[in-house]
Structure 1
Amino acid sequence: MPKAETRLKGYHMMDAGILIIGAGQAGYQLAVSLRDAGYEKRVVLIGDEADLPYQRPPLSKAFQSGDCEAEHVTFQKEPFYSERKIELMLGMHVTHIDRECQHITTGHGRHIHYEHLVLATGARNRLLPGSDSAVAGLLTLRTLRDAHALRNALNRSKSTLIVGAGFLGLEFAAVAAKRGVSVKVIEATSNLMSRAVSAPVADAFRAHHESLGVRFSFDSGVKRICTESGRVIGVETTDGVLHEADLVVVSIGVIPNVELAQDAGLETANGIVVDMNLATSDPSISALGDCAAFPSRFAFGNCRIESVQNAVDQARYLAQRLTGHTHGFEAVPWFWSDQGGVKLQIAGVAMGRADEIVLRGDRAGMKFSAYGFLKGQLVAVESVNRPADHIAARRLLAVNAPVTPSQAADMQFDLKSVLQPVN
């Protein structure tokens, strides 16, 4: 475990450079990318967790199954940061941004100056109303500490109830089911991943999870968490049904951490509002990752994307912009989720607005893609165990290729051919 604060010799605390608040995927990648881009001034990476920066995706899958440990999810060991001259300040909470004096204040009352400030503050889990963290067996999953607690609870669990049928909840459901635990998922909407994927893909994954033994209760919200002697015993849903379980995992989405930005007078709207350069209304402050709401032609307006690849893409772009090499962020958003041996890859973010869905491949064999069109234009592609489709979809969306629904439905038609220039 590193010390709460690591400082490099040769730097004075008043030296101004780039200060990054948030040591998750976006903050870590930005710090590394700044050095890769030749930035020579001070780079400071502040995180409110004491752990070295780490990956989150394995926490709901490989970490829970026991296939990896904490040291396997850490990006780099501590000497890496010293070698790259990246100052780590871990276990440190930032309480205030003084834009006029260009410094931040920590919970210890300390001021740290910056030439440019980057907010990579991420997001936090949305909680059920009235949730009590003191109740044993009632857990969420966001941090490495959460992951340890959940794995320990899963090792003792015989029946697990998951509130929320999104990516993370379903990834954990598959792990728990494969370990022989009785698993039920409660979802307020009528299908799983309903806010993120098309109906055919949702239906296919529902059948897949049910084949693993996962049961679902749709169109039902949580009325109350049931406890006995300080320990969870189940959940009562809004239809009056009591679902018994010795472990309840709440996975109902996240809330972007915008409070620092709001208090500093920066614009926020479902995230910290930035322009196509990832700059806020203050030219000395940028934002990226899960906390940033940015304009994207792929989403038909401002969007906030919670994905590893978005964090990486934005960090690499911002490092280039801050070192004067490029301008204008525009990358095809893409996502993935591994659920019980089935890989879902999504290119684009507009499937919910598609007015026509075309399937291509073997749906029964769980090797197919769903192509979403809006007024005849391809806007998103969901690929199930078809990685080649996904790679091609990202290229098609990047150049706004003129793919038609009939071409997408025709397995004999090579979609990549529309990328070739016509002589």
Structure 2
Amino acid sequence: MSTLRPALLTDHYELTMVSAALRDGTADRRCVFEVFSRRLPAGRRYGVVGGTGRLIEMIRDFRFDPAEIDFLRRTGVVDEPAAQWLAGYRFTGDIDGYAEGELFFPGSPILTVSGTFAECVVLETLVLSVLNHDSAVAAAAARMVTAARGRALIEMGSRRAHEEAAVAAARAAYLAGFRFTSNLAAGQRYGIPTAGTAAHAFTLLHDDERAAFASQVATLGKDTTLLVDTYDIAQGIRNAIAVAGPELRAVRIDSGDLAVIAQQSRELLDSLGATETKIIVSGDLDEYAIAALAAEPVDMYGAGTAVVTGSGAPTAGLVYKLVEVEGRPVVKRSEHKATIGGRKVAVRRHKPTGTATEEVIVPQGVPDRQPNDRLLQHSYVVSGEPETLPTLEESRDHLRQCLISIPWEGLKLSAGDPAVPVTVVPAS
């Protein structure tokens, strides 16, 4: 975990509100906050819930230590009553939400946090920081997995992100179906398979390309991947097979017109007898570039920058809004930012074949359940105590099943309507 404790991963104004609410007596009012997105990023047809497992662990550890309380006092962020309240803070409410790996659409109540106003409001920034980042990465990665059409992907974007964001991004990409990550911290923390061999620097270090390849093969054996585009790609492939033989596992190409080069490389490898040697391509790949290579003889893709930045949508656009106070719905009426009051329950409606047809959201009520409906919310925290969470592998499988369930049009990379329409049933 990060060396930075989660309690100060928050915004100043949350503690300002706590101070004022404690003073005026509203801090203990029972409230419900919901996390949802008003719209999907441009061109997207679905969102992916990512980061829930990380978030619940951080909320479990959400405490203010004496040094943090002293900092808040000294800087005037809180007054003395608020400082004392924060010193004893422990979330005692309930958290329900969509499963990690679940798809979401505009208006989907993907997380519901209920408890006193004060204990819920201080979680706002942490909740949104984790879910917005991980959900954005997971959605982009899921689109890349779809574009890859069953070919493996390795996440290799650590050098394009903050060091802790890189670990979270690797987890979110694996959730979405990536096979490997290059990030060793992600491998240690989350059990994600790691992969990696050598960079151009290793080739340049040696007197010639063959010497570099010979060193790598001597260390790792023939079950390795040789980077063949430091100089001339065709000659690099010849050198790789000359050193490792036709049993070489793979070559990687990181530059050039990948469609043309992949074809030429396959032909050359086959002519050298290396018919089983795989071709891995990398170099600023996103879902569109991967889709464009669908007909080419590529066996694995390495994606970096586009993954960790959400492929043009670095945030999922999620918001954390108060929707209920003491059992009474509250509604924000700002133009273009209106909310629907009251705690909501959501179901995903399906055909008997399993294809999703609609998401039904009911404020302050229970949906009229139909035979093929699936309730979307699950308990994560009850009276402050975390429930047993699904494993990352289970969440990964859940997303795979969700993507299978949506109409095929919803998997297109082109802009269009959400894959599943959302219906909000008026409160009775």
With structure 1 as the length reference, what TM-score do the two structures score? 0.26
Counting helix residues as a fraction of each chain, which structure ranks higher?
2
Ranked by relative contact order (alpha carbons within 8 Å, sequence separation 6 or more), the top structure is: 2
With structure 2 as the length reference, what TM-score do the two structures score? 0.25
Larger radius of gyration: 2
Counting strand residues as a fraction of each chain, which structure ranks higher?
1
